[in-house]
Amino acid sequence: MKTLIKDVALYKDHVITEHQNIEVTDSVITGFPTSPQAGDYDEVLEGRSMLALPGFVNTHTHIAMTVFRSYADDMQLMDWLEKKIWPAEDKLDSDVVYAQTMLGIAEMIRCGTTSFADMYFFMDDVARAVEASGIRAALSRGLTGVTPNAQQALQENKEFYKTWHGKADGRITVMFGPHAPYTCPPDYIRQVVEAAGELGAEVHTHLCETKGEVDSIVKQYGKSPIALMDELGLFDCGCLAAHCVWVDDADMDIMVKKGVRVAHNPGSNLKLASGIAPVQDMLKKGIVVGLGTDGASSNNNLDIMEEMHLAAFIHKAHTLDPLVVPAESAVNMMTEAGAACLGYTDIGKLETGYKADITLVDREGLHWYPKNDSMSLLAYSANSFDVDTVMVNGKVLLKGKEFTTLDIEKIKAEAERTKEKLFSAL
- The binding site comprises 60, 62, 89, 141, 179, 206, 209, 294
278: nearest Cα among 294, 293, 262, 292: 262
Q: Tell whether residue 267 is a contact of its own copies (CB under 8 A).
A: yes
Residues between 229 and 258 that touch its own copies (CB under 8 A)? none
* Binding site members for substrate: 89, 141, 179, 209, 294
Q: Which is nearer to its own copies, 44 or 72 (CB)?
A: 72
| Residues 384-413 contacting its own copies, CB under 8 A | 384-385, 408, 411-412
Q: Min. distance of Cβ 324 from its own copies in angstroms?
A: 8
Number of residues that bind its own copies (CB under 8 A): 71
- Decide: is 296 part of the binding site for its own copies (CB under 8 A): yes
Does 416 help bind its own copies (rule: CB under 8 A)? yes
Q: Considering only residues 199-228, where is the footprint of its own copies by CB under 8 A?
A: 211
The contact mask relative to its own copies for 274-293 (x = CB under 8 A, - = no) is: xxx-----------------
**How far does CA 49 lie from the centroid of its chain?**
27
| Rounded-to-5 percentages of helix, strand, coil across the chain | 45, 25, 30
| Interface with its own copies, residue 125, by CB under 8 A | no
Could you tell me which residues are beta bridge partners of residue 73?
none
**Which helix or strand (DSSP H or E) is residue 143 part of?**
strand 136-143
Per CB under 8 A, does 25 bind its own copies?
no
Instruction: By CB under 8 A, tell whether 53 contacts its own copies.
Output: no
Nearer to its own copies, 32 or 313 (CB): 313
CA separation for the pair 365, 363 (Å, rounded): 6
Angle at 13 (CA atoms; ends 12, 18), nearest 5 degrees: 40
Pick from 215, 211, 216, 217: nearest CA to 230 = 217
Say if CB 56 and CB 114 are below 8 A apart: yes
Identified binder of its own copies from the candidate list 4, 52, 103, 117, rule CB under 8 A: 103
**For residue 340, which of 101, 15, 54 has the smallest C-alpha distance?**
54
| 146 is a site residue for its own copies (CB under 8 A) | no
327 Cβ contact partners less than 8 Å away, ≥ 6 residues apart: 312, 373, 375, 376, 378, 379, 380
Please give the residues from 314 up to 343 whose contact with its own copies meets the rule CB under 8 A: 314, 316-323, 326-327
Stretch that binds its own copies, among 23-31, 163-171, 254-262, 376-384 (CB under 8 A): 376-384
Rounded-to-integer distance, Cα 215 and Cα 210, Å:
9
Q: Give the residue numbers of the binding site for Zn(2+).
A: 60, 62, 206, 294
